[in-house]
Chain A
Amino acid sequence: MISPRLGSLLAPLCVALGTISCAEDPGPQRLSEWGIFADGATQTAVEGLVEYELRAPLFSDYSSKHRFIRLPPGETITVEDATGRLLFPEGTLIVKTFGFHEDLRDPSSPERIVETRLLERRDGRWLPYVYLWDETASDATSTRIGARVPVTFTDLDGEERTFSYRVPSVTQCGNCHGGRDDIEILGPRVEQLDRDHDYGSGPENQLEHLVSMGWLAAMPTGSRTFVDPADETAPIDARARSYLHANCAHCHRDGGAADQSGLWLDIDETGESRLGFCKIPAAAGRGTGGRSVDIWPGDPDRSILMFRVESDEPGIKMPELPAVLVHDEGVEVLRAWIASLPPRECAAP
């Protein structure tokens, strides 16, 4: 085990020896050194970490998620009023654990804890870390290059599924969270946190909880409407835009890793062409599936976007990261949304 400080001291030696076994300042080798979990197997956090959920979560191959925020004592979160984005103070830790329930139909079925990713706010930047849990979830070990983990679960239709889950490399963290720009947090923003969570005494609004803790100065208001894409009572437009934001806009946004496509799917985007309506692809290759525009309003089966989210074939599949499986439920939301759009003739006159 190499402590962070020892790692820093060793770094020049690593360079001198040309070895690749000790990365420069790789952070704590064991997740336990961060002192954030009282019990890994149940993802019980120590006091000071606040669990949170999102209205529209990122689909990660049907994994379960456990999300936490830790602020340094006495610090607060600021809200960027215009956007609903949250600005976290130096020393903030954002924690996200990925696991798999044996049976997706039963949330109480045994859960295998696979990996935990951290973003640490240090020196004005977010630093990513990835930890891979051992078999018994007693502790997790740092990995810089990621890993592939064979995973088996029973899906919502009762079918057993086995696949190779991708734990990302630290660089891949940056490809989604950073793209061309510095690494940013993606999930937590005002509208995404504006939902209930049970902190142990019944459902409570997360933002109100953060206000009561003193982490937020006042109850903030966001600028956009986020809904749970699975909420069939919500308008289809809001469900789809929330889904696209959470699952595509990490790359498909200004500054994201796919912004060269000209297809920007973040919830703040208002331009129809940017959103893909009648937009020809820039570099889709086989990803077009023989279709001519990203979104053909009214016609999912003429929309490249549908072809790509319905595929699990590398080079065609979207998103490229993080998932390797098709998200059947997400596909249905997008299909219903495109079908609901006022039909339009995309072809040139």
Chain B
Amino acid sequence: MPAGCDRFVGPGGDAYADIQGMFEAAQPGETLCIGPGNYRVSDGLAIRDLDGVTIRGTGATRAEVVIDFRDIDISKGVTAMAMTDFTFENMTLLDAPGDNFFIGGSERVTIRDVRSGWENRTPAGRYALYPVESTDVLIERSEAFGSADAGIYVGQTTNCIVRDSTAVRNVAGIEIENSINCEVVDNIAEDNTGGILVFELPGLRVHGSGTLVQGNTVRNNNRENFAEEGTIVSFVPDGTGIMLLAANDVELRNNTIEDNDSTGILAISFATAELAGLEGGDSDPEFDPWAESTYVHGNTFGNNGTDPAPLFITVTSPLGIDTLEDVIFDGFVGPMLTPETTFCMQGSGTFRNADFDAEPGMQMSTTDLGAHACMIPEREPVMLPQDRGGV
């Protein structure tokens, strides 16, 4: 058994029986190791209610330990629930029918050096890395690819960091949804429909706020949207670098945002999404549809908005233009809010205060920042108990 492992599974046996058997036998505090090899499991894997467990691939790289879910007839590849101080590292996860790796109701979760996505399944599954309803989640040095929804998705979670990771060829590269106090830092989001999303949706048990998106490279997110109709991300316009939907207290700083054909940053309230056909905003009386306190500053933009998706036609057509700016804000200022408490921008980047539902001849669209040339105090980096700082 490799050093540092309490239990070990190698290739060559019944992959499901060997790995699930190890999970069933696991005791608190143990490190469960999977040796280099391909593990084409016959059923979904599950682990639950354990403290201090690490699941580790022992290859020199994550490419050496591959768990292949193409044969399973249940939605999720790995289901981890009610875990505490849980680490999952150095592996590749492929091709589950639904989600490759679901983590629910867990505390202090670290996903490190994991590559997860879809290679041999059409249509692809939903989420590659999917922690939800958890506390203190760290995803670092990981990669998500090919998801028909979000590659890296953190939902209804308090305190999270997505760092030094890569999201490519997904509908949504990285999505933070209804989460509290999160940081998306130093990632690469490339060749998705939308690179990085911060969404607040109705009907969920957690109401989110506070996301810091900094130091990311958000490039060439022009992939044609291939999400199933009816899903939230099916409304994400092709060519969107970063999209904020009804999100509160979001700071976007020091990102490099380039070659996104619709726009670099799209910041809208739920009301604008409803214009595009998204429903349900009024079904949840506790839902706040208005975006509040968005601060865009210090970002580097290049070559965005050169070929906006059809969804923007209500913006471009009345003006007779065929390109858009680096930053599109829908102009909605919610009740009890002011322009300065809704959206502020500093530094480089072209801007448009768009008017998505203009009456004919009443187009209020403007590229003038006006009162939005304001400042909002910067957010502090997120601190997680298990995090020793970036690498």
Contacts and interface: CB of A to CB of B under 8 A. Distances in A.
Interface of A: 14-15, 18, 20-24, 144-146, 148, 164, 166, 169-172, 174-175, 178-181, 254, 257, 259-260, 262, 272-274, 277-293, 304, 313-315, 317, 320-321, 324, 346-349
29 contacts: A18-B5, A20-B7, A20-B22, A23-B24, A144-B20, A144-B25, A145-B24, A146-B43, A169-B24, A171-B47, A171-B79, A180-B105, A180-B133, A181-B82, A259-B133, A259-B205, A262-B204, A283-B126, A283-B149, A284-B230, A286-B126, A286-B148, A286-B228, A288-B228, A292-B230, A320-B75, A320-B76, A324-B73, A348-B280
A164 B73 contact: yes
A287 B232 CA distance: 12
B75 A314 contact: yes
Classify the secondary structure of B's interface with A.
loop
B283 to A, nearest CB: 4
Given A260-B133, A283-B149, A290-B230, A278 B279 contact: yes
A347 B25 CA distance: 49
Contacts of A281: 230-232
Given A18-B5, A145-B20, A314-B73, A285 B43 contact: no
B74 interface: yes
Given A180-B105, A273-B284, A289-B230, A280 B278 contact: yes
A102 B377 CA distance: 70
Given A148-B42, A259-B205, A279-B203, A170 B279 contact: no
A180 B155 contact: no
B18 interface: yes
B132 to A, nearest CB: 5
Given A20-B9, A314-B97, A320-B75, A175 B48 contact: yes
Contacts of A293: 279-280
Interface of B: 1, 5-9, 16-18, 20-25, 27, 30, 42-43, 46-49, 72-76, 79, 81-82, 96-98, 104-105, 123, 125-127, 130, 132-133, 148-149, 153, 155-156, 177, 201-205, 227-232, 274, 277-284
A30 B104 CA distance: 33
Nearest to B1: A18
A291 B230 contact: yes
B46 A348 contact: no
A315 B98 contact: yes
B282 A315 contact: no
Contact of B205 (A146, A262, A289): A262
A282 to B, nearest CB: 6
B125 A282 contact: no
Nearest to B50: A171
A164 B30 CA distance: 33
B104 A260 contact: yes
Given A20-B7, A20-B21, A346-B280, 7 more contacts: A15-B6, A15-B27, A18-B1, A144-B20, A180-B105, A284-B230, A292-B230
A187 to B, nearest CB: 20
B116 to A, nearest CB: 15
Nearest to B155: A260
Nearest to B25: A23
Given A262-B203, A279-B280, A285 B228 contact: yes
B324 to A, nearest CB: 24
Given A145-B16, A172-B46, A348-B279, A283 B127 contact: yes
Contacts of B24: 23, 144-145, 169-171
Contacts of A166: 43, 74
A20 B13 CA distance: 13
Nearest to B285: A273
A118 B249 CA distance: 49
Contacts of A259: 133, 205
A180 B132 CA distance: 11
Contacts of A279: 203, 280, 283
B275 to A, nearest CB: 8
A254 B204 CA distance: 11
Max chain A Cβ within 10 angstroms of own Cβ: one of B18, B79, B98, B278: B98
Contacts of B280: 273, 278-280, 293, 346, 348
Contacts of A291: 230
